Amino acid sequence: MTRTKKDLTHKSSESVAEILIESSDSANSEKSKTAASSLGVQIEKDTEPEVDRSVYFFNRELSWIAFNKRVLHEGIDSRTPLLERAKFCAIFSTNLDEFFMVRIARVKKKLAEQIDIITDDGLTPQKQLEVIREALVPLVTMEHEFFENNLRQELHKNGVKLLDYKDIDKKHQRYLKTYFQEKLFPVLTPLAVDPAHPFPYISNLSLNLVVIVRDRETGEKNFARVKVPSVLPRFVKIPETDDHTFVPLEQVIAHNLDALFPGMEIMSYYPFRITRDAELDIEEEEADDLISALQEELRKQKFGSVVRMEIANDIPTEIRQELIEQLGITEADVYDIPGLIGLGDLMAIAFLPMPEHQDKPWKSVTHPRLKDTSGESNIFEIIREGAFLVHHPYQSFTTTVQRFIEEAALDPNVLAIKQTLYRTSGDSPIVHALIGAAENGKQVAVLVELKARFDEANNILWAKKLENAGVHVVYGLKNLKTHTKTALVVRQEGDRLVRYVHIGTGNYNPKTARFYSDLGIFSCSDDLGADLTDLFNYLTGYSRQRDYRKLLVAPVNMRDRFLQLIHREIEHQKKGYPSYIIAKMNSLVDPEIITALYEASQVGVNVDLIIRGICCIRPKVKGLSERIRVISVIGRFLEHSRIFYFSNGGQEQVYIGSADWMPRNLDARVEVITPIEDTILIQELKQILEIVLADNRQAWDLKADGTYIQRIPKDDEPEMSSQKHFMSQGRPEFA
């Protein structure tokens, strides 16, 4: 049975599920079978995998690259303040570092282990690496050429001069020579590479110089490596200038190499930078002590295989090949860079004291419910008056979430505090409050997710501080990450215990709360309190709790419940009742959810999706997804909130929580989504969604071919940035 791409775009929902099964290999068959069964389709076992699955799914990695391209666009866009443009270029680069350390590393492992898993869009690991490189090479070139030819000059015009060493005068060269001798020379260790000196270990994300020297006595050429120390600023400031003048640190080293190689002639030098596999591979079933196993993996992580080398584009072929051979990589792992390597370091430039070239400073406002000028009300009295939502960073994290935990720690009537912590900072007032609560004799239980990527070492450190203070610390669940954002406070009030809850979409991290857009609800609902009690018993003890009164909990009931909610909209549409789905999240990947959304579109349900990052659904395909619209908002704040709206035949239902529609969130993490049942709060969330959908400044529309087009206001309409709108609600000067 052969189908063409044209044929596929006119199939019924039943055929969609059938095709997903036909085109799956053994590794993906279970996901596809689940997607088919959700549509009630039975598939013959002997069908051939003949179809182009990319008709139905965008490739996850290519979709992420498209997201990072939108980040870069904010750096290129002349409407963005100058130093903020440098910031977005830095974010683009650091995003790409993480992409290689995790996603590329994972694909390369599958290839090395000959695990021929086919992606949802039908690609083998080898093909994925090929199409990823094809997409990345022009994007990386775009960033560096933009920096060298545009942004660098624009910075220069406005008093931020990133000069090459050769372009500074003799006076400042003498200053840099002194800087080298006093600050750099004692730190540097030149390493020879020859039969007596094996190729040195190159640390992850380190900037290095490969140096070619010639012995003046023998004429012999030699190869050496000098690491650029990351403990010093990447850009060395030149003093006694009227502006901000800098020279790259590697150039200061390069122009003083004679001090490192006395008696040698410096022939040439070239910068390069490597990226290593940073994925942790913990066999949790075999680990007697999760902390010890994790610490051992963190040690091994330093020696992960090299997955990328960035190198000066003018490096001679023989040196290039030597590095490729010594690092154990292929030509496909090499990215030629015109100009400065490692533009993530531009973040330091973005924070120079030049407010005229930065976003206007933002200070969150206090939630209206918490503006008690008398100071007599405690937060528990306010919550008892009725549940309320908080919207960060527009509303203060300090005066809401932080206050909730701090007051609980000091309140003599509070008996217990239970909280999940996925990411936070070691100096967090949340952590200090929890320690104080334990010292005050309260029962404090904290689930610390040790496996939070790139925060593993930090989480181990402050988790031990909590434990040493008497806090009951649980280090996650075996084979599951705990990603939920929940806090439960148990308070004695007269002869009864009252449970107060906070359920949010973002981490309990006061630093990221300043620039992550997130939501949370405070409530003393009996049902939510009982559900969180059951959840914490599941997290800290032995429990197979499957029934929750209100909460959607992954991996227990969330997937099934979301599918039920989507299919209920389908049934409403078939019966002529109001039907509409709006979902806002970070990423949409799950094939079963996507299949259900396709079915919803095919019967006439309008589906609006606000997906900041990865989006694997294909919108606006005739006969498949004509009623599905996807937008992405990239702006000053990182869109991080998850909101799910279902019109439900006129009886609107809205949910918020920690989970995206991804297999990892629905099947491999502990997540919580809570219903919002107060009519006023439902309207508040609905208004947030409507404002974001109306954004014509920082919203991008996803097209059927996978391209994103940034919205531009029409001639007869004003510019509307949803983030600026939310800022102006508390502070009109931001309107």
User: What are the residue numbers of the active site?
Assistant: 483
Beta bridge partners of 497: 492
Please say whether the beta carbons of 451 and 280 come within 8 A: yes
* Pairwise CA distance, residues 729 & 735, whole Å: 8
Judged by DSSP in three states, 97 sits in helix
* Pairwise CA distance, residues 180 & 187, whole Å: 10
Judged by DSSP in three states, 249 sits in helix
* Pairwise CA distance, residues 244 & 264, whole Å: 35
Please say whether the beta carbons of 723 and 696 come within 8 A: no
CA dihedral sign of residues 316, 322, 326, 327: positive
* Pairwise CA distance, residues 315 & 326, whole Å: 16
Residue for token digits 């199939």?
A: 11
Neighbour tally for 124: CB within 10 Å: 17
Give residues with Cβ within 8 angstroms of 573, minimum separation 6. 579, 600, 603, 604, 605
* Pairwise CA distance, residues 88 & 370, whole Å: 34
Question: Roughly what angle, to the nearest 10 degrees, separates helices 591-603 and 29-38?
Answer: 30
Give residues with Cβ within 8 angstroms of 632, minimum separation 6. 67, 70, 610, 611, 612, 613, 615, 699, 700, 702, 708
* Pairwise CA distance, residues 550 & 555, whole Å: 15
Phi, psi of 237 (to 5 degrees): -80, 135
Please say whether the beta carbons of 638 and 515 come within 8 A: yes
Residue for token digits 């021929």?
A: 116
Q: Which amino acid is at 429?
A: P
DSSP letter string, 628-662: EEEEEE-SSSEE---EEEE-GGGS-EEEEES--BS
Give residues with Cβ within 8 angstroms of 555, minimum separation 6. 480, 666, 667, 668, 669, 670
Q: Which two tokens stand for residue 568?
A: 């209920």
Give residues with Cβ within 8 angstroms of 441, minimum separation 6. none
Angle at 84 between CA 80 and CA 87, to 5 degrees: 135
* Pairwise CA distance, residues 154 & 147, whole Å: 9
